[in-house]
Structure 1
């Protein structure tokens, strides 16, 4: 196993035609179908980087920016943005293209934390990341920031730590009625 690899060595891209079977009741491509494709490409990218079977540990925020129409081509691009000891953050970008006009739309981007596993299902070390441009430094630093924020979010509202009085004022003006 290489000690370090560049992001370019494990980039993956797929393009798929969106069919009526992929649509929801509103006639647009179902978000769940796109999430499934995103998970598949994140797996492929992480597995290619680590040369291991990988599992999805978490998915960072997914915002659906533009709807995808039946008959459009959807292209998903994935690259490793961050490497920990046994985990990787894979950035996934989704774009759609109208095949008759050529117009492209950015539909969403998200970040998948993937963990490499050995044959016994135990987490195993992954190659580090070689960064060779400003964009790579930005993506790595952003992943570190997201990791830090996620850790803070997960402990801040534990039931044992939660103090309701500290949050009541923040509910003013919200669409909520307190009946305590």
Structure 2
């Protein structure tokens, strides 16, 4: 069974098994809790300074990822796709991460430039992305009513997906 979404015909995804739905919150919660002692361990054991041969590649790949995220927002906007919410959240996260690592890893004049870039571009850009994602989410919810966060479709929808 397919449903019309804009001008593209899409197949409704199969519902997740109930055991997966029940396990997901616990898996993510456990992951978050497990990272606390790991972060403490790193705080106590990592050196204050660390030289790497991959510095340039790290930043180039990160910026390519950020470019892809921003282009994805544009693509989703042109298509009027509800997946723009995901693209905006990813772009915001990468913009905030870029600001944090630029400011925390730069020294001297580079630090001043990183701080200006963070304050004038990356942080405001991330905030705009979050605001747009928030607005888009509410528009999607208003258009379709409440979302079933259980993700498990009723038995009729599951039977339709078996075709």
Select the structure that is richer in strand.
Answer: 1
Larger RCO (CA within 8 A; separation ≥ 6):
2
TM-score using structure 2 length: 0.24
Select the structure that is richer in helix.
Answer: 2
TM-score using structure 1 length: 0.22
> Which structure: larger Rg?
2
